[in-house]
Structure 1
Amino acid sequence: MNSTNQHDERIARMTFASVYPHYVTKVEKKGRTKEELHQLVEWLTGYNEEAIQKLLEEKVTFKQFFQGAELNRNAHLIRGTICGYRVEEITNPLTQQVRYLDKLVDELAKGRKMETILRTA
């Protein structure tokens, strides 16, 4: 990915709370649930329901969000295109982690099985 420092910095400053409602809308519009969304957030980051709510209330940036996360050891298995970029080719670690989350939300909204999304099948 040929991203710019400005692009990476903009992503780092975005708050999780500003994007979260879009995630919820996207998955619910396609017949999936907020609980399923939280399941994939927990798989990727280690944040449980209570932690997610606290992060939303605190309006943490994506930089803070992923600094406190324990990224799943299988996150590197997330592959494919999101927002026009191949996630496995993104060189900025934070931008890649945000795009991992975007990709998982996208797969959930597309109706993929949870076992496939969470790389357990």
Structure 2
Amino acid sequence: MAEHRIYGMSFASVYPHYVTKAERKGRTREEVDAIIRWLTGYSQEELDARIAERVDFRTFFADAPAMNPARDRIKGVICGVRVENIEEPLMREIRYLDKLIDELAKGKAMEKILRAPGPADS
């Protein structure tokens, strides 16, 4: 089976679309960056560098310093597919990010998007 073309696309070419989607709904670039940092473990400086370097999605996720272990709490449908059922690891990571940006654009609170533990999780 052929590799999905998004794997070879530069993260920098898609990043502005994440920001635009959020800003159209009254959210901010800073919130988009916070979501990406939460998911990947990149610092803001590292994130900015990865964007400037125009790395592809494969490299962006492969080089992520610390993928957030709470990302498995991300559930729901994106592009008609349940993210928790995506078997290919890289595609699942990309769709996790898509899902989080969707939640931001839909007005969800950052605490919920970032899967902050609630009282029941303590």
- TM-score after normalising by structure 1: 0.92
Q: Does the CA-based 8 Å contact 1:38-1:48 persist in structure 2?
A: no
Does 1 or 2 have the higher relative contact order (CA < 8 Å, sep 6+)? Answer: 1
Specify which of 10, 13, 34 is matched with residue 18 of structure 1.
13
Structure 1 residue 27 and structure 2 residue 22: aligned? Answer: yes
Deviation >2 Å, runs of 4+: none
* 1:59-74 equivalences in 2 (<5 Å): 59-69=54-64, 70-74=66-70
Unaligned runs of 5+ in 2: none
Write the distance in 2 (CA, Å) between the matches of 1:53 and 1:72.
19
Q: Identity of counterpart residues, as a percentage?
A: 53
Specify which of 94, 100, 104 is matched with residue 98 of structure 1.
94
* Corresponding residue for residue 88 of structure 1: 84
Write the distance in 1 (CA, Å) between the matches of 2:8 and 2:91.
11
* Corresponding residue for residue 41 of structure 2: 46
| Secondary structure of the structure 2 residue equivalent to 1:98 | helix
Give the paired residue count.
116
Write the distance in 1 (CA, Å) between the matches of 2:100 and 2:4.
22
| Secondary structure of the structure 2 residue equivalent to 1:111 | coil
- TM-score after normalising by structure 2: 0.91
Question: How far 1:11 sits from its partner (Å)?
Answer: 2.1
Q: For the aligned residues, what is the CA RMSD?
A: 1.0
* Corresponding residue for residue 75 of structure 2: 79
Write the distance in 2 (CA, Å) between the matches of 1:38 and 1:27.
11
**Deviations along 1:73-102, whole A, 9 cap, x unmatched?**
101110100111110000100000000000
